[in-house]
């Protein structure tokens, strides 16, 4: 046996070993050629995607993962491995994958380039993330549902608030009709009436804007936020509910606070939940005592803190932590999700949410948030 023959055999058995080894590994692995064509596919991959191994050999990898599109002029290593350009060989890419039957699912893909038999190849490790993605989606749907149901609690008082400008518009239009029937027409009066109608229309659309802003579902938008503006907006949203319940809300906001970075809708959800909880806690106290005070001030150089303080029944020692657990509720119609979701949201904003009993009566809920751009590195998520 000459040397060339021996090394060809070595190579063949080396390849066979390699193929067997890939078959034994418990995850899906695909070996890609320079142009993204599949050179080797282990049985786990074929099973995951609903193909036979042979069917995949030679086909472009984008058949399985459309986002791994390889420009025919750009070698796969250059085209796909942006993560390696940044020096991170183990970075995982979260991408959408497609099965043979057309259904899509989420995967995580790690790409590693190396030399195999003098060829430049890339090993793609594919991890099925369906379950994690479903869990995440359930969590998001739940948070959104809770938000919609919280706003639902406000429905009757919001309908009332909306009804006021609409009634005013109607009676102004009727008055204008009367003026127009007169001879001569008092144009100055008609002009004034039209101005009133425009103002009432603005009032109605403000109510609708505030509702829509909270129930919105969409991409998480991490931006620089004026927390004071968010607090004022939510206080306006619950204003008519507070009036119906005979509750006063006082605001004390420190001037010139730095912005925080975060998602407006999520932070509004937290505020809304804490305010409505405070109202609920005071259902049984005499109306004169039904006051919720909201303050916003610096907690330290890098943190701001919102405090929502009520004069309600307060929290027994065992409840101080329990109330943040999912499904803990003391209300007949409660879901018991508001505080646990709020804590998750504040955690995502790198902040803290906790409760303390007041010295005299009632409880105070604190939300501490970092100023600046603490959350901006996690931007690519979806809002609940
Ligand atoms: P829900 O409002 O649906 O019960 P939450 O998670 O928002 O769900 O609240 C959980 C529980 O925490 C409430 O049922 C109540 O017992 C308690 N709680 C919340 N806020 C207050 C408060 N301000 N004062 C006293 N207890 C409160």
Predicted pLDDT of residue 83: 40
Determine if ligand 1 sits within 6 Å of the CB of residue 150.
no
- Evaluate if residue 143 carries a pLDDT over 60: yes
- Evaluate if residue 292 carries a pLDDT over 90: yes
Q: Looking at the structure, do residues 201 and 238 belong to the same domain, yes or no? A: yes
Domain final residue pick, 128, 161, 191: 128
Predicted pLDDT of residue 86: 44
Predicted pLDDT of residue 75: 45
CA distance 277 to 329: 11
Q: How far is the CA of 209 from the centre of ligand 1 (A)?
A: 27
Predicted pLDDT of residue 49: 96
Q: Looking at the structure, do residues 211 and 334 belong to the same domain, yes or no? A: yes
Q: Looking at the structure, do residues 76 and 172 belong to the same domain, yes or no? A: no
Residue whose C-alpha is closest to residue 28's, from 45, 40, 43 = 45
Q: Given the CA of residue 333, which atom of ligand 1 is nearest to it?
A: 3
| Least confident among 38-52, 81-95, 258-272 | 81-95
Q: How far is the CA of 241 from the centre of ligand 1 (A)?
A: 17
Please give the model's pTM, rounded to 2 decimal places. Answer: 0.67
Which pLDDT band holds residue 73 (cuts at 50, 70, 90)? very low
Predicted pLDDT of residue 379: 47
Predicted pLDDT of residue 85: 41
For residues 75 and 101, which has the higher predicted lDDT (pLDDT)? 101
Q: Given the CA of residue 312, which atom of ligand 1 is nearest to it?
A: 24
Predicted pLDDT of residue 3: 57
Determine if ligand 1 sits within 6 Å of the CB of residue 47.
no
- Evaluate if residue 310 carries a pLDDT over 50: yes
Q: What is the mean pLDDT of residues 33-44?
A: 89
Determine if ligand 1 sits within 6 Å of the CB of residue 270.
no
**Whose Cα sits closest to atom 8 in ligand 1?**
336
- Evaluate if residue 372 carries a pLDDT over 50: yes
Q: What is the mean pLDDT of residues 272-289?
A: 94
Q: Looking at the structure, do residues 111 and 151 belong to the same domain, yes or no? A: no
What CATH number did the domain enclosing 373 receive? 3.30.565.10
Which pLDDT band holds residue 333 (cuts at 50, 70, 90)? confident
Which pLDDT band holds residue 275 (cuts at 50, 70, 90)? very high
Burial class (CB in 10 A: 0-12, 13-18, 19+), 39: middle
Which pLDDT band holds residue 8 (cuts at 50, 70, 90)? low
Q: Looking at the structure, do residues 159 and 297 belong to the same domain, yes or no? A: yes
% of the chain at pLDDT higher than 70: 87
For residues 359 and 95, which has the higher predicted lDDT (pLDDT)? 359
Q: How far is the CA of 141 from the centre of ligand 1 (A)?
A: 21
Q: Looking at the structure, do residues 214 and 236 belong to the same domain, yes or no? A: yes
Q: Looking at the structure, do residues 70 and 144 belong to the same domain, yes or no? A: no
- Evaluate if residue 165 carries a pLDDT over 60: yes
Determine if ligand 1 sits within 6 Å of the CB of residue 36.
no
- Evaluate if residue 380 carries a pLDDT over 50: no
Residue whose C-alpha is closest to residue 98's, from 136, 72, 68 = 68
**Whose Cα sits closest to atom 16 in ligand 1?**
330
Average pLDDT, the chain: 85
Q: What is the mean pLDDT of residues 160-188?
A: 90
Q: How far is the CA of 238 from the centre of ligand 1 (A)?
A: 17
Q: What is the mean pLDDT of residues 322-338?
A: 89
Predicted pLDDT of residue 87: 45
Domain count, the chain: 2
- Evaluate if residue 91 carries a pLDDT over 60: no
Q: Looking at the structure, do residues 150 and 99 belong to the same domain, yes or no? A: no
Predicted pLDDT of residue 375: 64
Which residues 6+ apart lie within 8 Å of 359 measured at CB? none
Q: Residue 108 belongs to what domain range?
A: 3-128
Domain final residue pick, 128, 160, 185: 128
Predicted pLDDT of residue 139: 74
- Evaluate if residue 77 carries a pLDDT over 50: no
Predicted pLDDT of residue 369: 96
Give me the long-range contacts of 313-319 (CB less than 8 A, separation at least 24): 313/281, 313/284, 313/285, 313/362, 314/281, 314/357, 314/358, 314/361, 314/362, 314/363, 315/355, 315/357, 315/363
Which residues 6+ apart lie within 8 Å of 306 measured at CB? 227, 231, 271, 294, 295, 296, 366, 367, 369
For residues 377 and 321, which has the higher predicted lDDT (pLDDT)? 321
Domain final residue pick, 96, 128, 160: 128
Q: How far is the CA of 349 from the centre of ligand 1 (A)?
A: 22
* Helix (H), strand (E) at residue 98: strand 92-98
- Evaluate if residue 224 carries a pLDDT over 70: yes
Determine if ligand 1 sits within 6 Å of the CB of residue 278.
yes
Q: How far is the CA of 213 from the centre of ligand 1 (A)?
A: 24
| Least confident among 89-93, 162-166, 208-212, 275-279 | 89-93
Q: Distance of CA 122 to CAs 11, 29, 42, Å? A: 18, 10, 14
Q: Looking at the structure, do residues 261 and 358 belong to the same domain, yes or no? A: yes
Mutate which of 323, 324, 363 for ligand 1? The one with the most ligand atoms within 8 Å of its CB, which is 323
Determine if ligand 1 sits within 6 Å of the CB of residue 336.
yes
Q: Looking at the structure, do residues 82 and 172 belong to the same domain, yes or no? A: no
Residue range 190-219, pLDDT digits in tens:
999 999 999 999 989 888 888 888 777 776
Q: DSSP class of residue 371? A: S
- Evaluate if residue 25 carries a pLDDT over 90: no
Q: Looking at the structure, do residues 124 and 148 belong to the same domain, yes or no? A: no
Determine if ligand 1 sits within 6 Å of the CB of residue 315.
yes
For residues 116 and 84, which has the higher predicted lDDT (pLDDT)? 116
Determine if ligand 1 sits within 6 Å of the CB of residue 330.
yes
What CATH number did the domain enclosing 34 receive? 3.30.450.20
Q: Looking at the structure, do residues 147 and 277 belong to the same domain, yes or no? A: yes
Determine if ligand 1 sits within 6 Å of the CB of residue 335.
yes
Which pLDDT band holds residue 304 (cuts at 50, 70, 90)? very high
């Amino acid at each position: 046996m000459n040397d060339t023959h021996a090394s060809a055999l070595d190579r063949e058995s080396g390849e066979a070993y390699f193929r067997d080894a890939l078959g034994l590994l418990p995850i899906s692995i695909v070996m890609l050629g320079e142009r993204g064509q599949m050179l080797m596919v282990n049985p786990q991959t074929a099973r995951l995607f609903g193909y036979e191994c042979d069917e995949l050999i030679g086909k472009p990898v984008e058949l399985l993962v459309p986002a791994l599109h390889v420009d025919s002029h750009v070698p796969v290593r250059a085209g796909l491995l942006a993560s390696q350009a940044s020096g991170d060989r183990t970075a995982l890419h979260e991408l959408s994958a497609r099965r043979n039957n057309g259904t899509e699912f989420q995967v995580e893909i790690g790409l590693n380039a190396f030399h195999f038999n003098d060829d430049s190849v890339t090993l793609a490790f594919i991890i099925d993330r369906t379950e994690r993605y479903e869990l995440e989606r359930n969590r998001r749907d739940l948070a959104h549902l809770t938000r919609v149901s919280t706003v639902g609690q406000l429905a009757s008082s919001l309908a009332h608030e909306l009804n006021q400008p609409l009634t005013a518009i109607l009676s102004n239009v009727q008055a204008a009709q009367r003026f127009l029937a007169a001879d001569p027409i008092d144009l100055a009066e008609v002009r004034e009436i039209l101005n009133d109608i425009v103002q009432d229309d603005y009032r109605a659309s403000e109510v609708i804007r505030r509702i829509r802003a909270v129930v919105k579902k969409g991409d998480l938008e991490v931006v620089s936020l004026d927390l004071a503006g968010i607090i004022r907006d939510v206080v306006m949203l619950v204003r008519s509910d507070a009036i119906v319940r005979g509750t006063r809300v006082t605001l004390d906001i420190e001037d010139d606070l730095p912005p925080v970075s975060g998602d407006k809708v999520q932070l509004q959800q937290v505020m809304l939940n804490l305010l409505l909880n405070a109202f609920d806690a005071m259902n049984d106290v005499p109306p004169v005592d039904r006051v919720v005070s909201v303050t916003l001030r610096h907690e330290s150089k890098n943190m701001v803190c919102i405090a929502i303080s009520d004069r309600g029944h307060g929290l027994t020692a065992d409840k101080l932590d329990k109330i943040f657990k999912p499904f803990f509720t003391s209300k007949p119609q409660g879901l018991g999700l508001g505080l646990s979701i709020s804590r998750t949201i504040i955690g995502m904003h790198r902040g803290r949410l906790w409760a303390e009993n007041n010295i005299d009566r009632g409880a105070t809920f604190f939300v501490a948030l970092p100023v600046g751009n603490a959350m901006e590195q996690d931007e690519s998520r979806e809002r609940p």
